[in-house]
A and B are shown apart, each in its own frame.
Chain A
């Protein structure tokens, strides 16, 4: 496993080994693509003293938290591993199944991209570190432990959510690719906003059917205790991550069994991307 991770990690150096403008273009492009999704929130945090119960610094904390979570998810799920519907629908899951290691290990190794997809994590760590030092209160080791646990939980929510929608490709290869693109857009577009004043119907949706509230808003709200009244606790984010992961695991396993029985539909007469 270690050698597989190392080999995939080295492949991530490819954009940089091209050198010159191509390497610079990759770094700038990757940074722009990822930071632009939180740019609106950063700009609002810079312009106003706060949004509702959130101060500017707390908003920066939320943005940093989300970028770190997304960065972690990207680093361990690069090369279409996060967009699993593509691998399933296009028959590329066969490449994973023929390997003499468990599916999860093969996917984790294949998606490992510590260099080429590190831009989000680097920007996120910087933003998070700055905001923690700027917050008007001190934090103990327990708080930092809770922070790390919640970051891991948020990254898990992102991966599990993408896999839950992506698993639809076992049944509907073409449709799932479209849905998976939209689900990825939901994560990137809506995960770094404070949802305190969102209309009730929208808020309910964002903490259930589309659980992006558990990626940024709820974990950071609990860590910073910005909520008016009782919160749901710092373990709410990781607990939601575990629940979602369990549901995703069950759905994915069921889909995998179907795939093992029928194989990829790509090579049939009406196959997707034949």
Chain B
């Protein structure tokens, strides 16, 4: 664990020159949050109630989604290292592959998330958005940890997919980035989706990455089911990663790893 936290610390020390771009990125999140606040307040209340949501819960949901946003879709640099062949060097590190990429990623995004959470909380106060959910904060933390575990597994699945697709890294990452925020429920709650789309998405692993923890915090009931679902997905996905990684070993070696 010492190596894990040491890598996190090193990764957390970002270059000072990156600060302005992080601030601009954070500004984008505040703008997106503001736009969503306006939309949620404009939705017809009766139709919203039919979805089992209140405007207040919806506003809290969006505030939380923006505040912890980077943790809801964790992305390591594994695909890049597979693509450019530098995974071979990483395999010589005195740490497991999962451990080094996870610690590096967490070190990079945890400080940003903390700063982002503070800024979004300030914006929420400015926009009169309630930050207190109906659920338990401690269960939310547990659910968020499970979401990160599931998210990491999904990241490894996508990395192995790039191996199978012959290094289509840019394309796979673009599709992933484009789709994940919507189908995971990070942008709009799955229960607001039409034509039973939300019900289908609810059973997919992407829901365990964002919709799960956000619902645990904003809903007064159903936390146990959501946590169990997240834990089940974590076990299934990581078992799949281990199996697929073993099966793809020759291809990874062929691509430089």
Residues of A that sit less than 8 Å from B by CB: 25-26, 29, 32-34, 36-37, 39-40, 43-44, 46-52, 174-175, 178-179, 182, 185-186, 189-190, 193-199, 201-203, 205-206, 210
Q: How far is the CA of A29 from the CA of B175 in the complex (A)?
A: 6
17 CB-based A-B contacts, threshold 8 Å? A29-B171, A29-B175, A32-B175, A33-B175, A36-B179, A43-B197, A51-B39, A174-B17, A175-B17, A175-B20, A179-B21, A190-B31, A198-B35, A199-B37, A199-B127, A202-B35, A202-B37
| Chain A residues within an 8 Å CB radius of B126 | 199, 201
What 10 A-B pairs have minimum CB-CB distances, sorted nearest first?
Answer: A202-B34, A52-B42, A198-B38, A197-B38, A46-B194, A36-B178, A47-B194, A178-B21, A33-B178, A197-B42
B38 touches A196 (CB 8 A): yes
| Chain B residues within an 8 Å CB radius of A25 | 168, 171
B53 shortest CB reach to chain A, Å: 11
Q: Tell whether B256 is near chain A: CB-to-CB under 8 Å.
A: no
Q: How far is the CA of A86 from the CA of B24 in the complex (A)?
A: 18
Q: How far is the CA of A29 from the CA of B223 in the complex (A)?
A: 35
Interface on chain B toward A: helix, strand, loop, or mixed SS? helix
Q: Tell whether B193 is near chain A: CB-to-CB under 8 Å.
A: yes
Q: Tell whether B77 is near chain A: CB-to-CB under 8 Å.
A: no
| Chain A residues within an 8 Å CB radius of B30 | 202
| Chain A residues within an 8 Å CB radius of B175 | 29, 32-33
A194 touches B127 (CB 8 A): no
Q: Tell whether B52 is near chain A: CB-to-CB under 8 Å.
A: no
| Chain B residues within an 8 Å CB radius of A195 | 35, 38
Q: Tell whether B43 is near chain A: CB-to-CB under 8 Å.
A: yes
A186 touches B20 (CB 8 A): no
| Chain B residues within an 8 Å CB radius of A179 | 20-21, 24
| Chain B residues within an 8 Å CB radius of A210 | 31
Contact (A37, B178) CB under 8 Å given A29-B171, A199-B37, A206-B31: yes
B32 touches A189 (CB 8 A): yes
Q: How far is the CA of A253 from the CA of B87 in the complex (A)?
A: 43
Residues of B that sit less than 8 Å from A by CB: 17-18, 20-21, 24-25, 28, 30-32, 34-35, 37-39, 41-44, 47, 51, 126-127, 168, 171, 174-175, 178-179, 182, 187-188, 192-195, 197
B42 touches A194 (CB 8 A): yes
| Chain A residues within an 8 Å CB radius of B171 | 25-26, 29
Q: How far is the CA of A203 from the CA of B38 in the complex (A)?
A: 10
B44 touches A50 (CB 8 A): yes
Q: How far is the CA of A194 from the CA of B39 in the complex (A)?
A: 7
| Chain B residues within an 8 Å CB radius of A205 | 31
Q: How far is the CA of A146 from the CA of B126 in the complex (A)?
A: 38
Contact (A186, B31) CB under 8 Å given A32-B178, A33-B178, A49-B47: yes
| Chain A residues within an 8 Å CB radius of B28 | 182, 185-186, 189-190
| Chain B residues within an 8 Å CB radius of A52 | 38-39, 42
| Chain A residues within an 8 Å CB radius of B192 | 43-44, 47
A32 touches B42 (CB 8 A): no
A32 touches B39 (CB 8 A): no
A46 touches B195 (CB 8 A): yes
Q: How far is the CA of A51 from the CA of B39 in the complex (A)?
A: 7
A201 touches B34 (CB 8 A): yes
Q: How far is the CA of A44 from the CA of B193 in the complex (A)?
A: 7
B182 touches A36 (CB 8 A): yes
Q: How far is the CA of A231 from the CA of B10 in the complex (A)?
A: 53
Q: Which residue of A lies closest to B165 (CB)?
A: A25
Q: How far is the CA of A196 from the CA of B51 in the complex (A)?
A: 23
A49 touches B34 (CB 8 A): no
